[in-house]
Structure 1
Amino acid sequence: MLKRIKALKNQKGFTLVELLAVIVILGIIAAIAVPSIGGIIDKSKADAHRANALQIISAAKIAVAANDSTIIVPSTPSVKQLVDGGYLDAIPGDPDNDKKAYDGTNSKVLIVKKGNAITYSITLKPSAKSGSSKTYYDNASEADIISGKKPATRN
Protein backbone atom coordinates (compact mmCIF):
# COMPACT_ATOMS: atom_id res chain seq x y z
CA MET A 1 0.00 0.00 0.00
CA LEU A 2 2.82 2.39 0.88
CA LYS A 3 4.50 1.72 -2.47
CA ARG A 4 1.28 2.56 -4.28
CA ILE A 5 0.94 5.92 -2.47
CA LYS A 6 4.57 6.79 -3.29
CA ALA A 7 4.00 5.86 -6.92
CA LEU A 8 0.94 8.14 -7.11
CA LYS A 9 2.89 11.03 -5.57
CA ASN A 10 5.62 10.76 -8.22
CA GLN A 11 3.19 11.18 -11.12
CA LYS A 12 3.51 14.88 -11.96
CA GLY A 13 2.47 16.80 -15.09
CA PHE A 14 0.38 15.86 -18.08
CA THR A 15 0.69 13.00 -20.52
CA LEU A 16 1.46 13.61 -24.16
CA VAL A 17 -2.09 12.63 -25.13
CA GLU A 18 -3.56 15.20 -22.73
CA LEU A 19 -1.33 17.95 -24.10
CA LEU A 20 -2.20 17.05 -27.70
CA ALA A 21 -5.92 17.09 -26.86
CA VAL A 22 -5.60 20.61 -25.41
CA ILE A 23 -3.67 21.82 -28.46
CA VAL A 24 -6.29 20.38 -30.83
CA ILE A 25 -9.11 22.03 -28.88
CA LEU A 26 -7.31 25.40 -28.92
CA GLY A 27 -6.75 25.02 -32.67
CA ILE A 28 -10.46 24.42 -33.25
CA ILE A 29 -11.37 27.47 -31.17
CA ALA A 30 -8.86 29.61 -33.10
CA ALA A 31 -10.20 28.35 -36.45
CA ILE A 32 -13.68 29.47 -35.44
CA ALA A 33 -12.68 32.78 -33.83
CA VAL A 34 -10.29 34.24 -36.44
CA PRO A 35 -12.83 34.58 -39.30
CA SER A 36 -15.38 36.03 -36.89
CA ILE A 37 -12.94 38.68 -35.73
CA GLY A 38 -12.09 39.54 -39.37
CA GLY A 39 -15.78 40.10 -40.08
CA ILE A 40 -16.12 42.34 -37.04
CA ILE A 41 -13.14 44.44 -38.18
CA ASP A 42 -14.59 44.81 -41.70
CA LYS A 43 -17.96 45.84 -40.31
CA SER A 44 -16.36 48.43 -38.03
CA LYS A 45 -14.48 49.94 -40.99
CA ALA A 46 -17.70 50.16 -43.02
CA ASP A 47 -19.43 51.78 -40.04
CA ALA A 48 -16.55 54.28 -39.78
CA HIS A 49 -16.97 55.25 -43.46
CA ARG A 50 -20.70 55.71 -42.84
CA ALA A 51 -20.09 57.88 -39.75
CA ASN A 52 -17.48 59.97 -41.59
CA ALA A 53 -19.84 60.54 -44.53
CA LEU A 54 -22.64 61.64 -42.21
CA GLN A 55 -20.22 63.93 -40.33
CA ILE A 56 -19.20 65.61 -43.59
CA ILE A 57 -22.86 66.02 -44.61
CA SER A 58 -23.57 67.59 -41.20
CA ALA A 59 -20.73 70.05 -41.79
CA ALA A 60 -22.30 70.97 -45.15
CA LYS A 61 -25.64 71.54 -43.40
CA ILE A 62 -23.95 73.88 -40.94
CA ALA A 63 -22.31 75.73 -43.85
CA VAL A 64 -25.71 76.17 -45.53
CA ALA A 65 -27.31 77.35 -42.28
CA ALA A 66 -24.48 79.80 -41.57
CA ASN A 67 -24.44 81.21 -45.11
CA ASP A 68 -28.11 80.90 -46.01
CA SER A 69 -28.21 84.11 -47.99
CA THR A 70 -24.86 83.75 -49.73
CA ILE A 71 -24.58 80.04 -50.57
CA ILE A 72 -25.50 79.13 -54.11
CA VAL A 73 -27.66 76.02 -54.35
CA PRO A 74 -27.00 73.69 -56.09
CA SER A 75 -23.39 73.64 -55.06
CA THR A 76 -20.70 71.05 -54.40
CA PRO A 77 -18.35 72.09 -51.62
CA SER A 78 -15.34 69.84 -51.23
CA VAL A 79 -14.34 68.42 -47.88
CA LYS A 80 -11.27 70.67 -47.97
CA GLN A 81 -13.51 73.73 -48.42
CA LEU A 82 -15.58 72.65 -45.40
CA VAL A 83 -12.38 72.36 -43.35
CA ASP A 84 -11.09 75.72 -44.62
CA GLY A 85 -14.45 77.31 -43.77
CA GLY A 86 -14.23 76.01 -40.20
CA TYR A 87 -17.16 73.59 -40.50
CA LEU A 88 -14.92 70.53 -39.96
CA ASP A 89 -11.86 70.39 -37.70
CA ALA A 90 -9.93 68.24 -40.18
CA ILE A 91 -10.50 65.92 -43.10
CA PRO A 92 -11.64 62.64 -41.47
CA GLY A 93 -9.27 59.68 -41.48
CA ASP A 94 -9.88 56.84 -43.93
CA PRO A 95 -10.21 53.58 -41.96
CA ASP A 96 -9.15 51.49 -44.98
CA ASN A 97 -5.88 53.37 -45.54
CA ASP A 98 -4.06 53.44 -42.21
CA LYS A 99 -5.99 56.52 -41.09
CA LYS A 100 -4.77 58.65 -44.01
CA ALA A 101 -7.33 61.35 -44.69
CA TYR A 102 -9.89 61.07 -47.48
CA ASP A 103 -9.26 63.00 -50.70
CA GLY A 104 -10.18 66.51 -49.57
CA THR A 105 -10.45 67.95 -53.07
CA ASN A 106 -12.39 65.20 -54.88
CA SER A 107 -14.63 64.22 -51.96
CA LYS A 108 -17.61 66.53 -52.24
CA VAL A 109 -21.11 67.14 -50.94
CA LEU A 110 -23.79 67.89 -53.53
CA ILE A 111 -26.35 70.33 -52.14
CA VAL A 112 -29.61 70.59 -54.11
CA LYS A 113 -32.72 72.59 -53.26
CA LYS A 114 -36.08 71.06 -54.24
CA GLY A 115 -38.88 73.42 -53.31
CA ASN A 116 -38.25 74.33 -49.69
CA ALA A 117 -36.27 71.14 -48.98
CA ILE A 118 -32.52 70.88 -49.33
CA THR A 119 -31.01 67.46 -50.06
CA TYR A 120 -27.43 66.42 -49.47
CA SER A 121 -25.48 63.71 -51.33
CA ILE A 122 -21.84 62.79 -50.88
CA THR A 123 -19.04 61.47 -53.03
CA LEU A 124 -16.29 60.15 -50.77
CA LYS A 125 -12.93 59.07 -52.21
CA PRO A 126 -9.68 57.82 -50.66
CA SER A 127 -6.56 59.94 -50.68
CA ALA A 128 -4.49 59.89 -53.86
CA LYS A 129 -1.55 58.85 -51.63
CA SER A 130 -3.30 55.54 -50.92
CA GLY A 131 -2.94 54.46 -54.55
CA SER A 132 -6.59 53.39 -54.68
CA SER A 133 -9.00 54.57 -57.36
CA LYS A 134 -12.17 53.30 -55.66
CA THR A 135 -14.96 55.56 -54.47
CA TYR A 136 -16.51 54.72 -51.09
CA TYR A 137 -19.72 56.65 -51.73
CA ASP A 138 -20.73 57.88 -55.18
CA ASN A 139 -23.41 60.55 -54.94
CA ALA A 140 -25.07 58.75 -52.01
CA SER A 141 -27.89 60.64 -50.35
CA GLU A 142 -27.98 61.15 -46.62
CA ALA A 143 -31.17 59.06 -46.38
CA ASP A 144 -29.57 56.16 -48.31
CA ILE A 145 -26.51 56.21 -46.06
CA ILE A 146 -28.60 56.25 -42.87
CA SER A 147 -30.92 53.48 -44.07
CA GLY A 148 -28.05 51.36 -45.38
CA LYS A 149 -29.40 51.29 -48.95
CA LYS A 150 -26.01 52.50 -50.15
CA PRO A 151 -23.29 50.95 -48.00
CA ALA A 152 -19.72 52.09 -48.47
CA THR A 153 -17.97 50.36 -51.39
CA ARG A 154 -14.76 48.97 -49.98
CA ASN A 155 -13.44 46.48 -52.56
Structure 2
Amino acid sequence: MFNTLKKRIKNEKGLSLVELLAVIVILAIVAAIAIPAIGNIVENSRYNGVKADAVNVLSGAQIYFTDNPEKADVTITALKTGGYLENAGSFEKNASTITITKATAGNKIVSATIEFSGTKKAVFTNATIPLINGDKQKGSAITDSWTVGNTVTNP
Protein backbone atom coordinates (compact mmCIF):
# COMPACT_ATOMS: atom_id res chain seq x y z
CA MET A 1 0.00 0.00 0.00
CA PHE A 2 2.81 2.40 0.83
CA ASN A 3 4.49 1.62 -2.48
CA THR A 4 1.30 2.52 -4.36
CA LEU A 5 0.99 5.80 -2.41
CA LYS A 6 4.63 6.67 -3.12
CA LYS A 7 4.11 6.02 -6.84
CA ARG A 8 1.04 8.31 -6.87
CA ILE A 9 2.90 11.10 -5.11
CA LYS A 10 5.80 10.83 -7.57
CA ASN A 11 3.39 10.91 -10.54
CA GLU A 12 1.60 14.05 -9.33
CA LYS A 13 2.27 16.92 -11.75
CA GLY A 14 1.83 20.51 -10.65
CA LEU A 15 3.51 23.84 -10.06
CA SER A 16 6.05 24.35 -7.35
CA LEU A 17 6.00 27.52 -5.29
CA VAL A 18 9.00 28.90 -7.19
CA GLU A 19 7.31 28.33 -10.56
CA LEU A 20 4.15 30.00 -9.32
CA LEU A 21 6.10 33.02 -8.09
CA ALA A 22 7.91 33.28 -11.43
CA VAL A 23 4.59 33.39 -13.27
CA ILE A 24 3.25 36.07 -10.91
CA VAL A 25 6.39 38.21 -11.40
CA ILE A 26 6.11 37.93 -15.19
CA LEU A 27 2.45 38.95 -15.09
CA ALA A 28 3.32 41.92 -12.86
CA ILE A 29 6.00 43.09 -15.31
CA VAL A 30 3.61 42.82 -18.25
CA ALA A 31 0.94 44.76 -16.33
CA ALA A 32 3.46 47.46 -15.36
CA ILE A 33 4.27 47.98 -19.03
CA ALA A 34 0.72 47.69 -20.40
CA ILE A 35 -1.20 49.95 -18.01
CA PRO A 36 0.72 53.19 -18.76
CA ALA A 37 0.63 52.40 -22.49
CA ILE A 38 -3.15 52.03 -22.39
CA GLY A 39 -3.39 55.30 -20.43
CA ASN A 40 -1.39 57.08 -23.14
CA ILE A 41 -3.64 55.69 -25.84
CA VAL A 42 -6.71 57.07 -24.06
CA GLU A 43 -5.03 60.44 -23.49
CA ASN A 44 -3.95 60.67 -27.13
CA SER A 45 -7.47 59.88 -28.32
CA ARG A 46 -8.88 62.70 -26.19
CA TYR A 47 -6.16 65.03 -27.47
CA ASN A 48 -6.96 64.10 -31.08
CA GLY A 49 -10.67 64.58 -30.35
CA VAL A 50 -10.06 68.18 -29.28
CA LYS A 51 -8.03 68.77 -32.45
CA ALA A 52 -10.83 67.33 -34.59
CA ASP A 53 -13.40 69.54 -32.83
CA ALA A 54 -11.23 72.60 -33.52
CA VAL A 55 -10.95 71.72 -37.21
CA ASN A 56 -14.75 71.26 -37.39
CA VAL A 57 -15.31 74.67 -35.82
CA LEU A 58 -12.90 76.31 -38.26
CA SER A 59 -14.50 74.51 -41.22
CA GLY A 60 -17.94 75.72 -40.12
CA ALA A 61 -16.53 79.24 -39.84
CA GLN A 62 -15.15 78.97 -43.38
CA ILE A 63 -18.64 78.25 -44.71
CA TYR A 64 -20.04 81.09 -42.59
CA PHE A 65 -17.51 83.58 -43.95
CA THR A 66 -18.21 82.42 -47.51
CA ASP A 67 -21.91 83.15 -47.00
CA ASN A 68 -21.22 86.38 -45.08
CA PRO A 69 -18.15 88.04 -46.65
CA GLU A 70 -18.78 91.31 -44.82
CA LYS A 71 -18.33 89.70 -41.40
CA ALA A 72 -14.90 89.71 -39.74
CA ASP A 73 -15.54 87.36 -36.83
CA VAL A 74 -18.08 84.93 -35.40
CA THR A 75 -18.68 82.99 -32.18
CA ILE A 76 -19.31 79.27 -32.00
CA THR A 77 -22.80 79.97 -30.66
CA ALA A 78 -23.57 82.02 -33.79
CA LEU A 79 -22.25 79.20 -35.99
CA LYS A 80 -24.58 76.73 -34.28
CA THR A 81 -27.55 79.09 -34.40
CA GLY A 82 -26.97 79.76 -38.11
CA GLY A 83 -26.75 76.05 -38.92
CA TYR A 84 -23.06 76.15 -39.89
CA LEU A 85 -22.02 73.87 -37.06
CA GLU A 86 -24.09 71.03 -35.67
CA ASN A 87 -22.00 70.15 -32.65
CA ALA A 88 -19.10 72.06 -31.13
CA GLY A 89 -17.85 68.99 -29.25
CA SER A 90 -15.34 69.93 -26.59
CA PHE A 91 -15.85 73.62 -27.42
CA GLU A 92 -19.50 73.42 -26.33
CA LYS A 93 -18.86 74.57 -22.76
CA ASN A 94 -17.35 77.93 -23.79
CA ALA A 95 -19.15 78.32 -27.14
CA SER A 96 -20.40 81.85 -26.50
CA THR A 97 -16.99 83.23 -25.56
CA ILE A 98 -14.84 81.66 -28.30
CA THR A 99 -14.38 83.86 -31.36
CA ILE A 100 -13.18 82.84 -34.80
CA THR A 101 -11.75 85.62 -36.96
CA LYS A 102 -11.56 85.73 -40.72
CA ALA A 103 -8.04 85.91 -42.09
CA THR A 104 -6.51 85.65 -45.53
CA ALA A 105 -4.12 82.91 -44.38
CA GLY A 106 -6.96 80.92 -42.79
CA ASN A 107 -9.58 81.45 -40.16
CA LYS A 108 -8.27 81.59 -36.62
CA ILE A 109 -9.60 80.55 -33.23
CA VAL A 110 -8.55 83.71 -31.41
CA SER A 111 -8.36 82.31 -27.90
CA ALA A 112 -9.78 79.20 -26.27
CA THR A 113 -8.86 76.97 -23.38
CA ILE A 114 -10.47 73.54 -23.57
CA GLU A 115 -10.25 70.97 -20.78
CA PHE A 116 -10.13 67.51 -22.28
CA SER A 117 -8.88 65.20 -19.55
CA GLY A 118 -8.87 66.08 -15.90
CA THR A 119 -6.28 68.82 -15.62
CA LYS A 120 -5.08 68.58 -19.24
CA LYS A 121 -6.09 71.58 -21.31
CA ALA A 122 -5.70 72.57 -24.93
CA VAL A 123 -4.85 76.26 -25.27
CA PHE A 124 -5.65 77.75 -28.66
CA THR A 125 -4.15 81.14 -29.53
CA ASN A 126 -4.72 82.32 -33.11
CA ALA A 127 -4.89 78.67 -34.14
CA THR A 128 -5.52 77.80 -37.78
CA ILE A 129 -6.24 74.38 -39.31
CA PRO A 130 -2.65 73.96 -40.58
CA LEU A 131 -1.28 74.81 -37.14
CA ILE A 132 -3.66 72.41 -35.41
CA ASN A 133 -2.78 69.62 -37.83
CA GLY A 134 0.93 70.36 -37.49
CA ASP A 135 1.41 71.32 -41.14
CA LYS A 136 3.77 74.26 -40.57
CA GLN A 137 5.66 75.09 -43.74
CA LYS A 138 9.42 75.15 -43.43
CA GLY A 139 10.60 78.73 -43.09
CA SER A 140 7.08 80.16 -42.76
CA ALA A 141 6.45 83.32 -40.83
CA ILE A 142 3.72 81.77 -38.70
CA THR A 143 4.06 82.87 -35.10
CA ASP A 144 0.67 81.64 -33.92
CA SER A 145 0.44 78.42 -31.97
CA TRP A 146 -1.69 75.94 -30.16
CA THR A 147 -0.31 74.05 -27.22
CA VAL A 148 -1.34 71.58 -24.57
CA GLY A 149 -0.32 72.12 -21.00
CA ASN A 150 -1.03 70.99 -17.46
CA THR A 151 -2.89 73.21 -15.04
CA VAL A 152 -4.86 72.43 -11.93
CA THR A 153 -7.64 74.99 -12.32
CA ASN A 154 -10.69 74.74 -14.52
CA PRO A 155 -11.20 77.33 -17.26
| Fold similarity call, TM over 0.5 | yes
Secondary structure in structure 1 of the residue aligned to 2:127: strand
Match of 2:141 in 1: none
Aligned mates of 2:27, 2:33 — CA distance in 1: 10
Identity %: 30
Q: Is the 8 A contact 2:60 2:84 kept in 1?
A: yes
Q: Is the 8 A contact 2:122 2:146 kept in 1?
A: no
Aligned mates of 1:44, 1:80 — CA distance in 2: 25
Q: Is the 8 A contact 2:58 2:108 kept in 1?
A: yes
The residue type paired with residue 128 of structure 2 is: S
Q: Is the 8 A contact 2:114 2:123 kept in 1?
A: yes
Shift of 1:80: 1.0
Among candidates 97, 102, 111, match of residue 106 of structure 1: 97
1:107-155 Cα offsets, whole Å, 9 max, x none, are 2211124xxxx6211133337xxxx8x6621111222112266454242
Shift of 1:65: 2.1
User: Normalized against structure 1, the TM-score is what?
Assistant: 0.72
> Is residue 2:17 matched to residue 1:29?
no
**Structure 1 gap ranges (5+):** 95-100
> Is residue 2:112 matched to residue 1:124?
yes
Aligned mates of 1:151, 1:142 — CA distance in 2: 10
Counterpart mapping for 1:1-155 below 5 A = 5-9=7-11, 11=12, 13-68=14-69, 71-72=70-71, 75-93=72-90, 101-113=92-104, 119-122=106-109, 123-126=111-114, 136-147=123-134, 150-155=145-150
Match of 1:98 in 2: none
Aligned mates of 1:12, 1:151 — CA distance in 2: 62
Q: Is the 8 A contact 1:52 1:92 kept in 2?
A: yes
User: Normalized against structure 2, the TM-score is what?
Assistant: 0.72
Aligned mates of 1:52, 1:154 — CA distance in 2: 18
* Cα distance change on mapping 1:148 and 1:140 into 2, 3 Å: same
**Structure 2 gap ranges (5+):** 137-144, 151-155
The residue type paired with residue 105 of structure 1 is: S
* Cα distance change on mapping 1:110 and 1:135 into 2, 3 Å: farther
Shift of 1:3: 5.6
Q: Is the 8 A contact 1:49 1:152 kept in 2?
A: no
Structure 1 or 2: more strand by fraction: 2
Q: Is the 8 A contact 1:59 1:88 kept in 2?
A: yes
The residue type paired with residue 39 of structure 1 is: N
Q: CA RMSD in A?
A: 2.9
* Cα distance change on mapping 1:154 and 1:49 into 2, 3 Å: farther
